[in-house]
Structure 1
């Protein structure tokens, strides 16, 4: 796996492993495989995956020795040695099911996605729920998942006029990706539905509902089911 990995020092306590420079599912899988392996063997090193890179954060004091070798070099050598020849993920990804109320006030851009794709609204929903997505990374806001696996027919540019506030739980399309807004936030993605699930809760033992590397499926629900779920603990607020 180490072939083609570029290592960039970012600070005295941070390294960036670059696996490439594109949004690609296979490349992203390499990043997650590396993160799983490094977490298992270097538990004191924090690993944060992105699309094509992996950030390593560590305590330099824990990696200091009596010789003059810098901690950055020690972590670099340890990480690359562990990744040498590693080609697969050492654990199975989690599967998470996300209920979604599509269209209407919950998905005000669904009709625009339908028109852009040349598909009926029903076919857009069918295709969006048929795919299995992978959480490529979390970013933009705590708990915001960037999901790869969108049917290419549903790809659509971001809005020319971003909204000042997008409701928490909004399921959206931005380019070739889909995502879910964890909180009420500004945003320019195309809103096609809304989930009652809470994506991020700072008080929870694991604040983010989704983790990088997870597999995600969406399923459509009606207004009555949405209202029942939104009144339960763990729903969006």
Structure 2
């Protein structure tokens, strides 16, 4: 049985830690436990925030009585549940229900200025890079860096490359990029050092949308290569 360590995260949150590395199995455990806790969440649990190998629980400290400090009371509650939930997270077949979302991408050209360099450094042709990238079965390990930015696990090892030595000052919104062993999508224009191989017309984050983020931790993602006409159609449909 693998029980995560429990640490205080400031004065109003607890952090469950399974390890220190990027590992699909550890990330699966995080999402399985997050889903299980969400089903039984008490009134004082404000939010569950998964990362690669950690799960943060944010608390409403005002909801606790004076008899016990909020973090101590929340940890006591959590440890009592972990005794029964940890076995479930250890089961390789246990996965939370997830949505499957297709992301249309126009690869190369102005939308993918690093595609040729990724191909060269990988020993592949640009078409082979696109084929391998679209063949991946990805899942959203976490959202971070910027609102709605998905860190996706499942990248073909042949495409894993270090970030740029000098980050760009401007990366267009919707840029699909590779950073190390991960791929991701920039939700808005921002600086960035990942290798850009394409762009999607989909809006990854809209504060007026419910929910604002297009993707959520645990979602399954497939990239689909599209031509100019399909890209324009998707761009119109998002309005």
Please classify the TM superposition score into its range, dividing by the shorter chain length: over 0.9
Matched, 1:195 2:194: no
Aligned to 2:110, the other structure's residue is in SS state helix
Counterpart Cα distance in 2 of 1:170 and 1:159 = 15
Residue 83 of structure 1 aligns with which residue? Answer: 82
* Superposed CA offset, 1:150-197 (max 9, x none): 000000110112110100000000000000000001000000000010
Matched, 1:59 2:64: no
Contact persistence 1:134–1:148 (CA under 8 A): yes
* Superposed CA offset, 1:70-89 (max 9, x none): 22122112223223242245
Shift of residue 5, structure 1, vs aligned partner: 1.2
Matched, 1:135 2:146: no
Counterpart Cα distance in 2 of 1:120 and 1:149 = 20
Provide the TM-score with structure 1 as the length reference.
0.93
Runs (4+) of structure 1 exceeding 4 A deviation are none
Residue 218 of structure 1 aligns with which residue? Answer: 223
C-alpha RMSD of matched pairs (Å): 1.4
Unaligned runs of at least 5 residues, structure 2: none
Residue 71 of structure 2 aligns with which residue? Answer: 72
Contact persistence 1:37–1:82 (CA under 8 A): no
Counterpart Cα distance in 2 of 1:69 and 1:37 = 25
* Superposed CA offset, 1:87-115 (max 9, x none): 24574111111010011111010001100
Instruction: Show the 5 A alignment for 1:175-194.
Output: 175-194=180-199
Shift of residue 63, structure 1, vs aligned partner: 2.6
Instruction: Show the 5 A alignment for 1:27-176.
Output: 27-44=26-43, 45=45, 46-64=47-65, 68-86=67-85, 87-88=88-89, 89=94, 91-176=96-181
* Superposed CA offset, 1:116-146 (max 9, x none): 1101111111110111101000000000000
Counterpart Cα distance in 2 of 1:90 and 1:118 = 35
Residue 206 of structure 1 aligns with which residue? Answer: 211
Shift of residue 223, structure 1, vs aligned partner: 1.1
Shift of residue 4, structure 1, vs aligned partner: 4.0
Shift of residue 61, structure 1, vs aligned partner: 2.0
| TM-aligned CA distance change 1:216 to 1:43, over 3 Å | farther
Aligned to 1:209, the other structure's residue is in SS state coil
Shift of residue 231, structure 1, vs aligned partner: 2.2
| TM-aligned CA distance change 1:26 to 1:90, over 3 Å | closer
Provide the TM-score with structure 2 as the length reference.
0.92
Unaligned runs of at least 5 residues, structure 1: none
Residue 24 of structure 2 aligns with which residue? Answer: 25
